[in-house]
Amino acid sequence: MSTKYKQLFFLVEGNDDERFFQKIIVPKFQKKYGTVKIWKYAQQKTEKISNFIRSIKSMGADYFYVVDIDQSPCVTAKKKEIKRKLKNVEIDRIIVIIKEIESWYLAGIDNKHCKKLKIKVIENTNNITKEKFNNLIPKKFNRIDFMSEILKNFSIEVAKQKNTSFKYFIEKYDC
Amino acid sequence: MKDLLPFVDNLSVEKFADKSLLFKLKESYNKKQYLPASLISDGTINITALIIALFFEKKPLTIIEEPERNIHPYLISKVVEMMKDASNNIQILVSTHNPEIVKIADLENLLLISRDKEGFSIISRPSEKENVKIFLKNEIGIEELYIQNLLEL
Protein backbone atom coordinates (compact mmCIF):
# COMPACT_ATOMS: atom_id res chain seq x y z
CA MET A 1 0.00 0.00 0.00
CA SER A 2 1.28 3.45 -0.87
CA THR A 3 2.23 5.57 2.12
CA LYS A 4 2.34 8.80 0.09
CA TYR A 5 -0.63 10.31 1.92
CA LYS A 6 0.25 8.89 5.29
CA GLN A 7 1.78 10.90 8.07
CA LEU A 8 5.06 10.10 9.73
CA PHE A 9 6.27 11.32 13.10
CA PHE A 10 9.82 11.23 14.38
CA LEU A 11 9.95 11.33 18.16
CA VAL A 12 13.40 12.66 18.94
CA GLU A 13 15.02 13.70 22.17
CA GLY A 14 16.09 17.30 21.76
CA ASN A 15 17.23 20.15 19.54
CA ASP A 16 20.41 18.50 18.23
CA ASP A 17 18.39 15.50 17.07
CA GLU A 18 15.70 17.72 15.59
CA ARG A 19 18.27 19.76 13.62
CA PHE A 20 19.78 16.59 12.19
CA PHE A 21 16.51 14.88 11.34
CA GLN A 22 14.96 18.02 9.85
CA LYS A 23 17.87 18.60 7.51
CA ILE A 24 19.01 15.06 6.62
CA ILE A 25 16.29 12.52 7.35
CA VAL A 26 12.94 14.29 6.84
CA PRO A 27 13.59 15.19 3.15
CA LYS A 28 14.27 11.52 2.46
CA PHE A 29 10.96 10.45 3.92
CA GLN A 30 9.00 13.25 2.29
CA LYS A 31 9.17 11.26 -0.92
CA LYS A 32 7.19 8.50 0.74
CA TYR A 33 4.90 10.36 3.15
CA GLY A 34 2.40 13.19 2.78
CA THR A 35 3.51 14.83 6.03
CA VAL A 36 6.60 14.28 8.12
CA LYS A 37 6.72 15.89 11.55
CA ILE A 38 9.12 15.91 14.47
CA TRP A 39 8.13 15.87 18.14
CA LYS A 40 10.73 16.45 20.85
CA TYR A 41 10.24 14.33 23.95
CA ALA A 42 13.02 15.66 26.21
CA GLN A 43 11.61 16.74 29.58
CA GLN A 44 8.27 15.10 28.77
CA LYS A 45 6.77 12.70 31.28
CA THR A 46 6.54 9.06 30.23
CA GLU A 47 2.75 9.22 30.37
CA LYS A 48 2.72 12.09 27.89
CA ILE A 49 5.04 10.29 25.47
CA SER A 50 2.79 7.29 25.74
CA ASN A 51 -0.28 9.45 25.05
CA PHE A 52 1.49 10.93 22.04
CA ILE A 53 2.21 7.48 20.62
CA ARG A 54 -1.41 6.46 21.25
CA SER A 55 -2.57 9.56 19.34
CA ILE A 56 -0.30 8.78 16.39
CA LYS A 57 -1.62 5.25 16.21
CA SER A 58 -5.24 6.47 16.42
CA MET A 59 -4.74 8.68 13.40
CA GLY A 60 -3.20 5.80 11.45
CA ALA A 61 0.17 7.51 11.13
CA ASP A 62 3.60 5.88 11.25
CA TYR A 63 6.30 6.86 13.70
CA PHE A 64 9.86 6.29 14.80
CA TYR A 65 11.03 6.68 18.37
CA VAL A 66 14.67 7.76 18.15
CA VAL A 67 16.97 7.22 21.12
CA ASP A 68 20.70 7.22 21.89
CA ILE A 69 22.18 3.92 23.04
CA ASP A 70 23.98 5.70 25.91
CA GLN A 71 25.30 3.13 28.40
CA SER A 72 23.25 0.18 27.21
CA PRO A 73 25.34 -2.87 26.27
CA CYS A 74 23.54 -3.43 22.95
CA VAL A 75 20.64 -2.30 20.75
CA THR A 76 18.35 -5.08 21.96
CA ALA A 77 18.92 -4.13 25.60
CA LYS A 78 18.18 -0.48 24.79
CA LYS A 79 15.01 -1.38 22.96
CA LYS A 80 13.88 -3.54 25.90
CA GLU A 81 14.62 -0.67 28.28
CA ILE A 82 12.45 1.67 26.21
CA LYS A 83 9.71 -0.94 25.90
CA ARG A 84 9.65 -1.35 29.69
CA LYS A 85 9.18 2.40 30.06
CA LEU A 86 6.79 2.94 27.14
CA LYS A 87 4.43 0.00 26.98
CA ASN A 88 2.71 1.05 23.75
CA VAL A 89 5.83 1.59 21.62
CA GLU A 90 6.55 -1.15 19.08
CA ILE A 91 10.06 -2.57 19.21
CA ASP A 92 10.52 -2.23 15.44
CA ARG A 93 9.67 1.48 15.61
CA ILE A 94 12.56 2.21 17.97
CA ILE A 95 15.66 3.57 16.26
CA VAL A 96 18.79 3.31 18.40
CA ILE A 97 21.61 5.70 17.62
CA ILE A 98 25.12 4.46 18.29
CA LYS A 99 26.39 6.17 20.23
CA GLU A 100 24.75 9.58 20.35
CA ILE A 101 23.33 11.88 17.68
CA GLU A 102 26.72 13.63 17.50
CA SER A 103 28.15 10.44 16.00
CA TRP A 104 25.62 10.66 13.17
CA TYR A 105 26.60 14.28 12.54
CA LEU A 106 30.27 13.48 12.40
CA ALA A 107 29.79 10.40 10.23
CA GLY A 108 28.62 12.47 7.27
CA ILE A 109 31.75 14.55 6.75
CA ASP A 110 34.07 13.26 4.06
CA ASN A 111 37.85 13.60 4.26
CA LYS A 112 37.89 16.74 2.10
CA HIS A 113 35.49 18.56 4.39
CA CYS A 114 37.27 17.28 7.50
CA LYS A 115 40.37 19.08 6.19
CA LYS A 116 38.36 22.16 5.34
CA LEU A 117 36.85 22.26 8.83
CA LYS A 118 40.28 21.50 10.31
CA ILE A 119 39.20 18.44 12.23
CA LYS A 120 40.85 15.03 12.24
CA VAL A 121 39.44 12.35 9.98
CA ILE A 122 37.47 9.74 11.90
CA GLU A 123 36.80 6.56 9.95
CA ASN A 124 34.33 5.10 12.42
CA THR A 125 32.08 7.25 14.59
CA ASN A 126 30.37 4.45 16.55
CA ASN A 127 32.12 5.54 19.73
CA ILE A 128 31.63 9.27 19.42
CA THR A 129 29.92 10.70 22.47
CA LYS A 130 28.75 14.25 23.06
CA GLU A 131 31.94 14.96 25.01
CA LYS A 132 34.24 13.63 22.29
CA PHE A 133 32.32 15.61 19.70
CA ASN A 134 32.59 18.81 21.75
CA ASN A 135 36.35 18.34 22.00
CA LEU A 136 36.58 18.20 18.20
CA ILE A 137 34.88 21.55 17.61
CA PRO A 138 37.38 23.97 16.02
CA LYS A 139 37.92 27.22 17.91
CA LYS A 140 36.32 29.36 15.22
CA PHE A 141 32.96 27.64 15.66
CA ASN A 142 30.47 27.45 18.46
CA ARG A 143 28.69 24.11 18.83
CA ILE A 144 25.54 25.02 16.88
CA ASP A 145 27.52 26.67 14.06
CA PHE A 146 29.71 23.61 13.79
CA MET A 147 26.71 21.29 13.59
CA SER A 148 25.09 23.49 10.94
CA GLU A 149 28.33 23.56 8.96
CA ILE A 150 28.50 19.75 9.04
CA LEU A 151 24.92 19.46 7.81
CA LYS A 152 25.62 21.80 4.89
CA ASN A 153 28.11 19.28 3.48
CA PHE A 154 26.64 16.09 4.91
CA SER A 155 27.00 12.99 2.76
CA ILE A 156 24.63 10.11 3.45
CA GLU A 157 26.87 7.70 1.56
CA VAL A 158 29.89 8.66 3.66
CA ALA A 159 27.82 8.47 6.85
CA LYS A 160 26.74 4.93 5.99
CA GLN A 161 30.37 3.90 5.82
CA LYS A 162 31.32 5.56 9.08
CA ASN A 163 28.42 4.69 11.38
CA THR A 164 26.78 1.30 11.71
CA SER A 165 23.48 2.44 13.22
CA PHE A 166 23.06 5.16 10.57
CA LYS A 167 23.68 2.61 7.80
CA TYR A 168 21.21 0.19 9.36
CA PHE A 169 18.51 2.85 9.63
CA ILE A 170 18.93 4.20 6.11
CA GLU A 171 19.08 0.78 4.49
CA LYS A 172 16.31 -0.83 6.52
CA TYR A 173 13.84 1.91 5.73
CA ASP A 174 14.97 2.24 2.15
CA CYS A 175 15.19 6.02 2.13
CA MET B 1 -7.28 46.79 37.75
CA LYS B 2 -7.31 45.63 41.38
CA ASP B 3 -8.12 42.11 40.25
CA LEU B 4 -4.87 41.89 38.30
CA LEU B 5 -2.68 44.24 40.28
CA PRO B 6 -3.95 44.43 43.85
CA PHE B 7 -1.10 46.76 44.89
CA VAL B 8 -2.35 49.58 42.64
CA ASP B 9 -4.11 52.12 44.76
CA ASN B 10 -4.86 54.84 42.26
CA LEU B 11 -4.07 56.03 38.73
CA SER B 12 -3.79 59.55 37.51
CA VAL B 13 -2.84 61.53 34.42
CA GLU B 14 -1.09 64.85 34.82
CA LYS B 15 -1.54 67.46 32.11
CA PHE B 16 1.21 69.91 31.29
CA ALA B 17 1.09 73.33 29.63
CA ASP B 18 2.68 71.93 26.45
CA LYS B 19 -0.29 69.53 26.24
CA SER B 20 1.86 66.51 27.09
CA LEU B 21 0.43 64.00 29.54
CA LEU B 22 2.16 62.08 32.30
CA PHE B 23 0.69 58.81 33.50
CA LYS B 24 1.31 58.10 37.15
CA LEU B 25 0.28 55.54 39.68
CA LYS B 26 0.02 55.24 43.43
CA GLU B 27 0.86 51.91 45.06
CA SER B 28 -0.59 50.63 48.30
CA TYR B 29 2.98 50.22 49.59
CA ASN B 30 3.46 53.95 49.66
CA LYS B 31 0.28 55.99 49.63
CA LYS B 32 2.06 59.29 50.05
CA GLN B 33 3.32 59.66 46.53
CA TYR B 34 2.58 58.80 42.93
CA LEU B 35 5.12 57.00 40.79
CA PRO B 36 5.69 58.46 37.31
CA ALA B 37 5.36 56.15 34.29
CA SER B 38 9.15 56.03 33.91
CA LEU B 39 9.39 54.20 37.23
CA ILE B 40 6.50 51.82 36.70
CA SER B 41 7.10 48.28 35.43
CA ASP B 42 6.35 47.52 31.78
CA GLY B 43 3.88 44.84 32.81
CA THR B 44 1.88 47.26 34.93
CA ILE B 45 1.83 49.79 32.10
CA ASN B 46 0.76 47.12 29.58
CA ILE B 47 -2.06 45.92 31.81
CA THR B 48 -3.23 49.50 32.32
CA ALA B 49 -3.17 50.10 28.57
CA LEU B 50 -5.12 46.87 27.99
CA ILE B 51 -7.82 47.89 30.46
CA ILE B 52 -8.19 51.25 28.75
CA ALA B 53 -8.33 49.68 25.28
CA LEU B 54 -10.84 47.04 26.34
CA PHE B 55 -13.19 49.01 28.57
CA PHE B 56 -12.79 52.69 27.88
CA GLU B 57 -12.34 52.98 24.11
CA LYS B 58 -15.62 53.47 22.30
CA LYS B 59 -14.74 51.36 19.30
CA PRO B 60 -16.44 48.19 18.08
CA LEU B 61 -13.17 46.42 17.22
CA THR B 62 -10.00 46.20 19.29
CA ILE B 63 -6.87 44.47 17.97
CA ILE B 64 -4.25 43.58 20.53
CA GLU B 65 -0.78 42.42 19.64
CA GLU B 66 0.79 40.06 22.14
CA PRO B 67 -1.00 41.11 25.34
CA GLU B 68 1.29 38.75 27.27
CA ARG B 69 4.34 40.97 26.89
CA ASN B 70 6.09 41.71 30.19
CA ILE B 71 3.30 40.09 32.16
CA HIS B 72 3.90 37.42 34.79
CA PRO B 73 2.55 34.00 33.63
CA TYR B 74 0.32 33.82 36.69
CA LEU B 75 -1.59 36.88 35.48
CA ILE B 76 -2.12 35.69 31.93
CA SER B 77 -5.27 33.72 32.69
CA LYS B 78 -6.70 36.86 34.30
CA VAL B 79 -5.81 38.93 31.25
CA VAL B 80 -7.57 36.40 29.00
CA GLU B 81 -10.59 36.38 31.31
CA MET B 82 -10.66 40.16 31.10
CA MET B 83 -10.55 40.04 27.30
CA LYS B 84 -13.37 37.46 27.24
CA ASP B 85 -15.38 39.71 29.52
CA ALA B 86 -14.86 42.72 27.26
CA SER B 87 -15.72 40.64 24.18
CA ASN B 88 -19.35 40.62 25.30
CA ASN B 89 -19.50 44.20 24.04
CA ILE B 90 -16.79 44.51 21.41
CA GLN B 91 -15.00 42.34 18.87
CA ILE B 92 -11.45 41.56 19.98
CA LEU B 93 -8.65 40.14 17.86
CA VAL B 94 -5.53 39.03 19.70
CA SER B 95 -2.26 37.90 18.19
CA THR B 96 0.00 35.86 20.41
CA HIS B 97 3.00 33.55 20.57
CA ASN B 98 2.26 32.60 24.13
CA PRO B 99 1.37 28.95 24.92
CA GLU B 100 -0.43 30.00 28.11
CA ILE B 101 -2.84 32.16 26.13
CA VAL B 102 -3.32 29.37 23.58
CA LYS B 103 -4.11 27.01 26.47
CA ILE B 104 -6.63 29.31 28.13
CA ALA B 105 -8.38 30.67 25.04
CA ASP B 106 -11.34 28.59 23.91
CA LEU B 107 -10.32 26.17 21.18
CA GLU B 108 -13.04 27.32 18.80
CA ASN B 109 -11.73 30.87 19.05
CA LEU B 110 -8.21 29.96 17.95
CA LEU B 111 -7.02 30.79 14.45
CA LEU B 112 -3.59 29.55 13.46
CA ILE B 113 -1.57 31.61 11.02
CA SER B 114 1.20 29.65 9.35
CA ARG B 115 3.08 29.91 6.06
CA ASP B 116 2.90 27.63 3.07
CA LYS B 117 5.83 26.44 0.95
CA GLU B 118 5.78 29.66 -1.09
CA GLY B 119 5.74 31.81 2.03
CA PHE B 120 2.11 32.87 1.86
CA SER B 121 0.12 33.08 5.08
CA ILE B 122 -2.55 30.48 5.67
CA ILE B 123 -5.22 30.84 8.32
CA SER B 124 -6.70 27.66 9.70
CA ARG B 125 -8.88 26.58 12.61
CA PRO B 126 -7.17 23.94 14.82
CA SER B 127 -10.59 23.01 16.21
CA GLU B 128 -11.54 21.63 12.80
CA LYS B 129 -8.47 19.42 12.41
CA GLU B 130 -9.11 15.73 13.02
CA ASN B 131 -5.56 15.10 14.21
CA VAL B 132 -5.77 17.93 16.74
CA LYS B 133 -8.98 16.38 18.09
CA ILE B 134 -7.23 13.00 18.44
CA PHE B 135 -4.28 14.56 20.28
CA LEU B 136 -6.58 16.44 22.64
CA LYS B 137 -8.60 13.29 23.32
CA ASN B 138 -5.34 11.60 24.33
CA GLU B 139 -4.50 14.40 26.74
CA ILE B 140 -1.83 16.11 24.67
CA GLY B 141 -2.59 19.73 25.48
CA ILE B 142 -3.28 22.35 22.84
CA GLU B 143 -0.33 24.37 24.13
CA GLU B 144 1.95 21.37 23.64
CA LEU B 145 0.76 21.01 20.04
CA TYR B 146 1.37 24.71 19.54
CA ILE B 147 4.86 24.65 21.08
CA GLN B 148 5.86 21.65 18.96
CA ASN B 149 4.42 23.17 15.81
CA LEU B 150 1.81 20.46 15.37
CA LEU B 151 -1.35 22.56 15.21
CA GLU B 152 -1.29 22.78 11.43
CA LEU B 153 -1.50 19.03 10.95
Q: How far from chain centre, in Å, is Cα A103?
A: 10
Q: What is the pLDDT of residue B56?
A: 93
**pLDDT above 60: residue A135:** yes
CB contact under 8 A, B140 and A58: no
**pLDDT above 90: residue B152:** no
Indicate the pLDDT class of residue A3, thresholds 50, 70 and 90: low
Of A7, A35, A55, which has the smallest distance from its Cβ to B135's Cβ? A55
Q: Does B144 touch chain A (CB under 8 A)?
A: yes
Which of 85-144 (A) contact B at CB < 8 A? none
What would the pLDDT profile of B74-127 be if each residue is shown by its tens digit? 999 999 999 999 999 999 999 999 999 999 999 999 999 999 989 999 999 999
Q: What is the pLDDT of residue B32?
A: 87
In chain B, whose CA is at the least distance from the CA of A7?
Answer: B153
Q: What is the pLDDT of residue A2?
A: 54
How many Å lie between the alpha carbon of A53 and the closest alpha carbon of chain B? Answer: 9
Q: Which residue has the higher pLDDT, A70 or A108?
A: A108
Q: What is the pLDDT of residue A40?
A: 97
What would the pLDDT profile of A149-172 be if each residue is shown by its tens digit? 999 999 999 999 999 999 999 999
How many Å lie between the alpha carbon of A162 and the closest alpha carbon of chain B? Answer: 32
What would the pLDDT profile of A16-62 be if each residue is shown by its tens digit? 999 999 999 999 999 899 999 999 999 999 999 999 999 999 999 99
Indicate the pLDDT class of residue B153, thresholds 50, 70 and 90: confident
Contacts with B135 from chain A: Cβ below 8 Å:
52, 55
CB contact under 8 A, B144 and A48: yes
Of A37, A40, A55, which has the smallest distance from its Cβ to B140's Cβ? A55
CB atoms within 10 A of CB B83: 21
Q: How far from chain centre, in Å, is Cα A121?
A: 21
What is the rounded average pLDDT for all residues in chain B?
Answer: 94
**pLDDT above 70: residue B132:** yes
Mean pLDDT, rounded, for A57-82: 95
CB contact under 8 A, A52 and B131: no
CB contact under 8 A, B130 and A35: no
